[in-house]
Structure formats: C-alpha cells, structure tokens
A and B are shown apart, each in its own frame.
Chain A
Amino acid sequence: MIEFLQALSHHAFLQTALLAGLLAAVGCGVVGTFVVVKRIAFLAGGIAHSVLGGMGAALYFGFDPLAGALAASLVSALLIGWVRLHWSAQEDTLIGALWAIGMAVGILFISKTPGYSGDLMSYLFGNILLVPTRDLWVMAGLDALLLAVVLTFYRQFLAVAFDEEQARLRGVPVTFFYLLLLCLVAVTVVLLIQVVGLILVIALLTLPAAIAGHWVHTLGRIMLLATGLGAVFTSAGLALAYSPDLPAGPTMILLAGATYVASALGTGLLQRRRARRRATAA
C-alpha cells in the first residue's frame, strides 16, 4: 500500500487512473442505483456488450473509439427500450440477440482493421492505466451531464422506476423518461468501460448500489453510499493490484464482489438476530 502511495506521487499515469476510477464511481453510484431498483441489469448488460460493435466500427473507419462507443451504446439503449415497450414478451431473447450481434460486429471490424495495433483485451477487460488525460475531461463532462439530468428530473425518474402506471396517470411521459433512463445507462456504461472494460461493467453498475441497498433505504442515500463504495472499490482495487502487478479491473470487481457477499451475509445475520430478539421480548 505504501509502495502504491509513493508511486502515486511520482507517476502521472497512476494519478490519471485514480481520477478515472473516481469519475466512474459517480456514474455507477447514481445510475447504478436505478439499474438495481428497476431491475434492468440484464438490459444494461446488453447495452454494454453491443458497444463493442460501435468501437470496432469506429476503429475500422478511423474515428475515435470513445465516440463510437458512445454512439453504439445510445443506439442499442434506444433499440432495447423500443423492443421492451413494443414486444415485451420476447424481451430477454431480443436483448440476448443484440448482446451477441453487437460483439460479433465489433470483433469482425477489429479483425479487419488495417494496421490495427490496439488490444482487443483492453476493450473487453479495460485498462485503467491507459486512460488518456483527454478522456478524463470527457468522463467529467459525462458525469456532469448525468448529474444535471438526474437532479432536474429526479421526481420523474423516481416515479418511472417505482410505479410506471401511477406515473402515467399523473401525466408523466413515461416512455420518454424510460428511454432517457436507458440513455443514462448507456452513457454510464461508456464511462465504466474506460475503467473495467465492457465485460465487467455490469458488476460496477450493480454491486455498489446493491450493497448500499442492504444498509440504507431511500434512493438518494443509496446513490450517495453507492458512489462512495464505487470510489473505494476503484481506488483500493488500483492500489491492491499495483504491487503484485495484477490487472486493475478484475481486482476492483473481485473486491466489490467479496464486499457484496460479506454485506449480504452480514445483513442476513443481523436480521435473523433482530427477529429472534423481538420474538424473545414478545
């Protein structure tokens, strides 16, 4: 740990990596909370994986992969949302199809990109140590956008997440806000891909909010705690991975996963003990 702190003060790339992790934590805390309470983790997984298609196409045609990722994630979010609203019976099959088709398109494009020098692994599993400083600004901008949209329309998002029928009866344009929520998920996915890659995005999107949901019980508090947890997981994961030279992304995910299991067991035990105490008191 001390070794990591010393290295942090010397190496700019580590500082950039740390900042990237902290910026990603904002997205995973705020939007991840909606993903967990609205139970759309599978849908978010579909969006994340189809992003590879956009990245591959962007590389092939010589655009910035980040722009390709953003475009692909938004398109697949709207497509999946539209499918859910119109063919709800086949939702899971169609999300699965989009998931696989997106990846297949991406891999074909990447394999055919002339003079391709990147590493497919770094898209799949991310490489937080290779985040360019310019991308930090993009990430900060996307965070600001997410926060502005969620704060402005907090009540509508809460209503659509909680009870769509009631929201519709109060005149909330439910379809619009549902699709907007999926677009926020898409933006968050792109933020997180920088840090842990698209395969592991789903873990950072769900685990911090799920752990927070064990301990606090309003949406706002879950968002705050999940953002804090996300910051701890990305920073501590980076620190833990440094000395033994492990890949940072999977280290962060394992840390989050272990915390989730411990938290689930801990709250389960606490509840049982409380129930027993109440039973003996009565």
Chain B
Amino acid sequence: MTTSVPAISITGAAYSYGEAPVLEGVDLEVAQGEFLGLVGPNAGGKSTLLKLILGLFEPQAGRVLVLGRPPDQARRLLGYVPQYPAFPRDFPITVEQVVLMGRLGSGQGWRRWLGGWSQTDHVAARAALQEVRAEDLAGRRIGTLSGGQLQRVLVARALVGQPRLLILDEPTANIDQRMEGEIFDLLRVLNKRMTILVVSHDVAFISAYVTRVACLNRTLVCHRTETIDGGIIHELYGEDVRRVAHEHTL
C-alpha cells in the first residue's frame, strides 16, 4: 500500500446548482489512515462535496483526486454508505443479495461482468456481514429490517468490496443513540485498515472518535479535534448549537 498518496486531495473545488454557489475554493487533503469528520449546517454543501469525491459530480473548478486518481477511476477502492438508501424498502431482495451488490465488478476476467455471483463473492458477503455482526440477517428480506439493522447491512455492502476509503453520509441520523455508539465503535476498528470520512451534523458526538474535523459551510475549515470549542462552533453555525462537554481521548 502506497501510504504517501493522499486518500483524498481536493484543490480549489467549486460547485453550484444554477446561480447559488454551494462550494467555493474548497481545499482538502486527507492522508491514508485518517478518520475525518465532515460537519456543517444543512445545505452547507456536505452531500455535494461527497458527490465530487465519489465522482458522481464533476467540479466546475478545481481538481479532485482519490487515492491519486480521478474519482471515477477510484470507485472500486471506495465504499459508500448513503444517508438514505436509494432503493424502495419493499424491493424483493434478501440481505445477502444486497451485500453482494457491493461486489459488482470485483471478479476476475469475464466473471467480473457476466453470469452470476462466484463462490468468492458469497464468502466475502458472509465475512462482511460477520464484521458488522449481522450474519444472522443474511436470509432476511430487506423490508423486514429495523433502521439500525439496515444501517449495518449498508455498511457491510460498502465493506464487501475491500475498500481503502470508506465514506459514510450521516450514518447515525436514522437510528437511536445506543446504536450510534456501536456504529462508531465499529468504524474505529475499521479505521485500523482503511481511511474513513464520515459526514455528520453532530460535531460534539463525532469529535470523540475522529482524528480531525472539517467544517463545511460553502467554504471549508479544518480543525484538529483538540481545538474544537464554542467559538469555532459559533463561527460555523452562526449560533450556539447543542454542545455537550466531551473529553478528547485521541
């Protein structure tokens, strides 16, 4: 693994939907092995920045590189957990099949695209479900899962392709607080072998886990987690938000 190449390297990126600029002059460099939290108010451009990194949008100015390559060529090195699943919950599909979807394009030679799943794919899907402690859900229909279970399955789908960079968009928005801790404990373990970028609106909670926080409200400012205080939060949100006393153990 070439650790010298940054996991994410963004220079001067800008994006706007029509008139209103969403991102302006965004510079961000994430080293491999980092656990970066991306926070900011609603409509601050967090999702747009993710879409640039995922290669779903092209920046209108500036440059985005993921693991040293243009994003659309780095996609198979990425795992992505969306905030809202893009599929209907009543789709006739089992948990194992959903996880297998994360293996598309992973095989060798013609098996990469033609025919069905290989034995290797099934083994990888089982292992990913085990890692998120959801192996007993493998045969369940996706529509019968609770919010927390679905979130684990989506993390397994992102892990099954052996990503080097894991991106999660508000992974705890739809689940209760106990689950929130469990998900972040899992991410802490995963961070030992991959770079993690997690989007959240809750700076207080994630700063207990991440190594660095990037604050995005059209423009981007980075902070070491040790330095986050009320002043920074005030500057970011324009008001005092829910702020819980927390210790930086990192």
Contact = CB atoms under 8 A, between A and B. Distances in A.
Given A169-B78, A170-B75, A162 B104 contact: no
Contact of A172 (B87, B104, B157): B104
B219 interface: no
Interface string A160-184: 0111111111111000000000000
A166 B78 contact: no
Contacts of A213: 92
Interface in B13-30: none
B93 A169 contact: no
B141 A165 contact: no
A167 B101 CA distance: 8
Given A152-B114, A159-B101, A165-B86, 6 more contacts: A37-B91, A153-B114, A155-B115, A158-B93, A162-B91, A170-B75
Task: Bin the interface of chain B by size.
Answer: 20 to 34
Contacts of B157: 166
Interface of B: 54, 56, 75-76, 78, 80, 82, 85-88, 91-94, 97-98, 101-102, 104-105, 113-117, 141, 157, 161
Contacts of B117: 155
Contacts of A39: 88
A37 B93 CA distance: 10
B105 A170 contact: yes
A169 B78 CA distance: 8
B56 A219 contact: no
Nearest to A166: B101
B85 to A, nearest CB: 7
B20 to A, nearest CB: 19
A170 B104 contact: yes
B135 to A, nearest CB: 19
B105 A171 contact: yes
B116 to A, nearest CB: 6
B87 A217 contact: no
Contact of B93 (A162, A164, A165): A162
A161 B161 CA distance: 20
Interface centre among B88, B94, B104, B141 (most CB of A within 10 A): B104
Given A170-B76, A171-B75, A218-B97, A163 B85 contact: yes
8 contacts: A155-B104, A155-B115, A158-B93, A159-B104, A162-B93, A165-B86, A166-B80, A222-B92
Interface centre among A151, A155, A165, A219 (most CB of B within 10 A): A155
A161 B92 CA distance: 11
Contact of A219 (B76, B82, B86, B93): B93
Nearest to B87: A163
A27 to B, nearest CB: 19
A151 B114 CA distance: 9
Given A168-B56, A169-B80, A171-B75, A162 B101 contact: yes
A260 B76 CA distance: 42
A42 interface: no
A156 interface: yes
A39 B91 CA distance: 11
A154 interface: yes
Contacts of A170: 75-76, 101-102, 104-105, 161
A218 B115 CA distance: 17
B87 A162 contact: yes
Contacts of B104: 155-156, 159, 167, 170-172
Given A163-B85, A169-B78, A37 B92 contact: yes
Contact of A218 (B76, B92, B113): B92
B21 to A, nearest CB: 23
A171 B76 contact: yes
Nearest to A213: B92
B86 A164 contact: yes
Interface centre among B54, B56, B97 (most CB of A within 10 A): B97
Contacts of B161: 170
Contact of A165 (B82, B92, B114): B82
Contacts of B93: 158, 162, 218-219
Contact of A155 (B54, B82, B116): B116
Given A162-B87, A164-B86, A169 B101 contact: no
A156 B56 contact: no
Contacts of B54: 169
Nearest to A155: B104
Nearest to B117: A155
Given A152-B114, A219-B92, A165 B105 contact: no
A121 to B, nearest CB: 37
